[in-house]
């Protein structure tokens, strides 16, 4: 599998590349966005490792462009950055990054996260529950036949819930799966749940709050058609 590394620090770039190559992956390295974008147009990688602080166009701008382009939106992105505040992590994850790893990082952790994201990216399925339909491969959601436009994280959140209807997902598990973190992001989760409910309209009531635990997707009215 091919992994692109966009990192301006040569030493870190070499460490990342060497670690991944010794784990069986093919890598290509880039120190700035122009060379990265040129290579991307010629050949799509299976995963992208992205730094935030880059010369010229920063990593968040690159990430936003990737996730807003249908041709590249499905490529998993792992941010590896020295910016470690909660706000930095939330920005990166909300823009669509699949994971966020803070510098300094352990090389074994890097390999583990890469493997996990590649496994998840390989699962393309269609889910349906009580009038809600989600296509993972096409990145589409319909509620009662009407197209629903979701942000990247809203889509991932709904995909988690609809993948196992009636299963109660703990808040920590949702944050870890969808955002890559299980701390300090409770308000972010609540806001996404509220927005998702509104966007799903009448079907939004199926996203049920389980007090002091988390959320589930379930039609609670057993007599409802």
pTM for this model (two decimals): 0.64
Task: Concatenate the DSSP letters of all residues of 139-175 into one string.
Answer: TEEEETTEE----HHHHHHHHHHHHSTTPPEEHHHHI
Q: Does residue 195 carry a pLDDT above 70?
A: yes
Give the percent of the chain with pLDDT over 90: 66
Arithmetic mean of pLDDT, 34-38: 93
Instruction: List where CATH 1.10.10.10 sits in the chain.
Output: 126-217
The secondary structure of residue 176, as a DSSP letter, is: I
Do 98 and 89 touch, CB atoms closer than 8 A? no
| Residue whose structure tokens are 């609809």 | 162
* Angle (nearest 5°) at CA 205 between 199 and 209: 110
State residue 154's pLDDT score.
94
* Better-predicted residue by pLDDT, 91 or 20: 20
Q: Which stretches within the chain are classed as H helix?
A: 10-22, 33-42, 59-67, 86-94, 107-121, 152-163, 171-174, 186-199
Instruction: List where CATH 3.40.50.2300 sits in the chain.
Output: 2-121
CATH architecture group of domain 2-121:
3-Layer(aba) Sandwich (3.40)
The whole-angstrom separation of Cα 208 and Cα 211 is 9
The whole-angstrom separation of Cα 185 and Cα 83 is 16
Per-residue pLDDT tens over the stretch 67-125:
988 888 889 999 999 988 888 888 899 999 999 999 988 999 999 999 999 988 876 67
- Tell me the pLDDT band of 225, cut-offs 50, 70 and 90: very low
State residue 83's pLDDT score.
87
Arithmetic mean of pLDDT, 134-139: 85
CATH class of 126-217: mainly alpha
């Amino acid at each position: 599998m091919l992994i692109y590394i966009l990192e301006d620090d040569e030493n870190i770039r070499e460490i990342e590349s060497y670690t991944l190559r010794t784990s069986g992956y093919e890598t290509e390295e880039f120190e700035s966005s122009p060379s990265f974008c040129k290579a991307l147009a010629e050949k799509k990688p299976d995963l992208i490792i992205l730094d935030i602080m880059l010369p010229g166009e920063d990593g968040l701008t690159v990430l936003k462009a990737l996730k807003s382009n249908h041709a590249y939106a499905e490529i998993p992105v792992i941010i590896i950055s020295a910016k470690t505040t909660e706000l930095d992590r939330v920005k990166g994850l909300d823009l669509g990054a699949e994971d966020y790893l803070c510098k300094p990082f352990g090389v074994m952790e890097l390999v583990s996260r890469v493997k996990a994201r590649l496994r998840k990216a390989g699962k393309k399925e269609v889910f349906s529950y009580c009038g809600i339909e989600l296509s993972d491969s096409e990145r589409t959601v319909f509620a009662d036949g009407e197209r629903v436009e979701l942000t990247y994280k809203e889509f991932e959140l709904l995909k988690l819930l609809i993948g196992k209807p009636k299963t109660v997902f703990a808040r920590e598990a949702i944050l870890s799966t969808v955002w890559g973190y299980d701390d300090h992001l409770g308000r972010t989760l609540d806001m996404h749940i509220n927005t998702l409910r509104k966007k799903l309209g009448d079907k939004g009531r199926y996203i049920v709050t389980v007090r002091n635990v988390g959320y589930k997707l379930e039609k609670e009215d057993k007599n409802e058609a």
